[in-house]
């Protein structure tokens, strides 16, 4: 791959000027990969030919840098996809989703059709560096991560090595997917200390925008003080019961699903190790995250099946697509632990 420098669209330049004036914050909501070639990036309002939406793993503000990590996969694709263009989409001051920046590749890689070798992933990190007010360009640098095949080869090499832990982990310390494997598997086995992060990861603001500016937490009990999302109201600009997440759930160690009844009489908590929840999401069949057998909230996995229920779509790492439900969701909490 030979990705070009990320360039701002004209709309992106306007947004960037507002960022520098502290009039708004940058929030990248969608990243799309295409097989076309966007021509004049400055005048572009969309990619030339969108093909696949990336899963956003994390968006971190680090000083003057906004580091965006995302992943594309061939799961569910019907054809091979040439990874020729990337578009970054943000909300403008009017809450409209617009093309902020784009980059192209003159020597593109191809994402193959998922076959007997299983899923192939490409993980990329783009760092947007803000310059001073006189220079409103954004520079993009891309670091490629390991594909699934590379990870499998690393595990095989690890198994055959006599000094596996030190030698093999240090060897690929700059590779995004292998580092994710190292921190999410090896460090968890080593144990936890105090939680570093405990935060809500439901994107309530996005769901509010899609609900014509009205908070979707419509199950309110004045006696218990509980407010929850019943997923029953009509008029949503999304499937009733779908849950949008502000971050990829796999970036956490644990997630807590806090639910209640449609009348908000009590709170129930289900705790999942992320590796377990991620596995459940990779297998066919609905997953019940509700409190009990009488009060259910079933979500679809990431696997395409013939029985996708109410929403009719598969889930992603940032969208829990509803299959069926008769209860309410108070919140979903992500937890990251300090490594020991």
| 51 neighbors 33 (Cβ within 8 angstroms) | yes
Q: Which band of pLDDT confidence, cut at 50, 70 and 90, is reported for residue 149?
A: very low
Q: What is the DSSP letter of 311?
A: T
Average pLDDT for residues 314-333, to the nearest whole number? 93
Taking only the tens place, the pLDDT of each residue in 46-73 is: 999 999 988 887 766 566 666 777 888 8
pLDDT value of position 166: 46
Range of weakest confidence among 67-81, 161-175, 245-259: 161-175
CB atoms within 10 A of CB 6: 24
- For residue 42, which phi and psi values (nearest 5 degrees)? -60, -40
Complete edge-to-edge strand list for the sheet that includes strand 287-288: 287-288, 297-299, 322-325
Q: How far apart are CA 108 and CA 123, in angstroms?
A: 15
Q: Which band of pLDDT confidence, cut at 50, 70 and 90, is reported for residue 6?
A: confident
Place of tokens 């993980």: 123
Q: Which band of pLDDT confidence, cut at 50, 70 and 90, is reported for residue 159?
A: low
Taking only the tens place, the pLDDT of each residue in 282-297 is: 999 999 999 888 999 9
Average pLDDT for residues 250-254, to the nearest whole number? 89
pLDDT value of position 139: 37
| Model pTM above 0.75 | no
Q: What angle do CA 183, 189, 194 make, to 5 degrees?
A: 75
Residues 6 or more apart whose CB falls under 8 angstroms from that of 222 comprise: none
Question: What is the share, in percent, of the chain residues with pLDDT greater than 70?
Answer: 71
Q: Which band of pLDDT confidence, cut at 50, 70 and 90, is reported for residue 305?
A: confident
Average pLDDT for residues 177-201, to the nearest whole number? 50
Task: State whether the Cα torsion 99-77-308-319 is positive or negative.
Answer: negative
pLDDT value of position 157: 56
Please tell me which of 50-54, 164-168, 170-174, 179-183 the model is most confident about, judged by mean pLDDT.
50-54
The continuous run of DSSP H or E covering 148 comes out as helix 148-160
Taking only the tens place, the pLDDT of each residue in 21-34 is: 766 666 778 889 99
Complete edge-to-edge strand list for the sheet that includes strand 97-111: 7-8, 97-111, 81-91, 28-34, 50-53
Average pLDDT for residues 160-177, to the nearest whole number? 44
Residues found in the chain = 340
Judged against a pLDDT cut of 50, whether residue 310 lies above it is answered with: yes
Residues 6 or more apart whose CB falls under 8 angstroms from that of 242 comprise: 231, 311, 319, 320, 321, 322
pLDDT value of position 338: 61
pLDDT value of position 161: 56
156 burial (CB, 10 Å; 0-12 / 13-18 / 19+) is: exposed
Average pLDDT for residues 184-201, to the nearest whole number? 56
Taking only the tens place, the pLDDT of each residue in 89-145 is: 988 888 889 999 898 888 888 888 876 566 788 888 887 765 432 333 333 444 444
Q: Which two tokens stand for residue 172?
A: 């690929």
Q: Which band of pLDDT confidence, cut at 50, 70 and 90, is reported for residue 186?
A: very low
Q: How far apart are CA 231 and CA 261, in angstroms?
A: 12
pLDDT value of position 129: 65
Return the SS3 of 163. coil
| 41 neighbors 88 (Cβ within 8 angstroms) | no
Q: How far apart are CA 55 and CA 319, in angstroms?
A: 10
pLDDT value of position 195: 63
| 297 neighbors 259 (Cβ within 8 angstroms) | yes
Across all residues in the chain, what is the average pLDDT?
77
pLDDT value of position 105: 86
Q: How far apart are CA 165 and CA 171, in angstroms?
A: 10
Give me the helix-helix angle, 164-171 and 148-160, nearest 10°. 150
Return the SS3 of 178. helix
Nearest to 99 by CA among 89, 109, 114: 89
The continuous run of DSSP H or E covering 60 comes out as strand 55-62
CB atoms within 10 A of CB 145: 22
């Amino acid at each position: 791959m030979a990705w070009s420098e990320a360039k701002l669209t004209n709309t992106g330049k306007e947004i960037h000027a507002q960022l520098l004036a502290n009039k708004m914050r940058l929030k990248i909501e969608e990243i799309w990969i295409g097989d076309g070639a966007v021509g004049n990036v400055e005048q572009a309002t969309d990619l030339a030919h969108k093909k696949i939406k990336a899963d956003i793993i994390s968006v971190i503000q680090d000083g003057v840098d906004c580091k965006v990590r995302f992943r594309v996969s061939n799961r569910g694709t019907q054809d091979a996809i040439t990874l020729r263009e990337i578009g970054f989409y943000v909300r403008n001051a009017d809450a409209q989703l617009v093309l902020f920046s784009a980059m192209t590749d003159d020597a593109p890689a191809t994402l193959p059709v998922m076959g007997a070798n299983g899923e192939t992933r490409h993980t990329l990190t783009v760092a947007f560096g803000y310059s001073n007010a006189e220079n409103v360009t954004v520079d993009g640098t891309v670091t490629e991560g390991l594909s699934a095949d590379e990870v499998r080869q690393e595990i095989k090499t690890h198994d055959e090595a006599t000094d596996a832990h030190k030698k093999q982990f240090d060897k690929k310390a700059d590779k995004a997917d292998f580092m994710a494997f190292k921190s999410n598997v090896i460090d968890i086995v080593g144990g936890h200390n105090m939680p570093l992060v405990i935060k809500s990861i439901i994107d309530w603001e996005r769901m509010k925008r899609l609900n014509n500016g009205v908070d979707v937490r419509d199950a309110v009990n004045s006696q218990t003080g509980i407010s929850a999302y019943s997923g029953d109201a009509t008029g949503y600009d999304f499937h009733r019961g779908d849950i949008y997440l502000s971050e990829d759930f796999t970036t956490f160690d644990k997630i807590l699903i806090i639910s209640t009844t449609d009348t908000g009489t009590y709170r129930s908590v289900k705790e999942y190790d992320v590796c377990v929840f991620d596995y459940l999401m990779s297998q066919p069949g609905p997953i019940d995250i509700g409190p009990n057998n009488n009060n259910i909230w079933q979500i679809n996995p990431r696997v395409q099946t013939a029985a996708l229920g109410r929403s009719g779509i598969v889930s992603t790492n940032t969208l829990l697509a509803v299959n069926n439900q008769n209860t309410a969701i108070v919140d979903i909490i992500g937890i990251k632990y300090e490594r020991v």
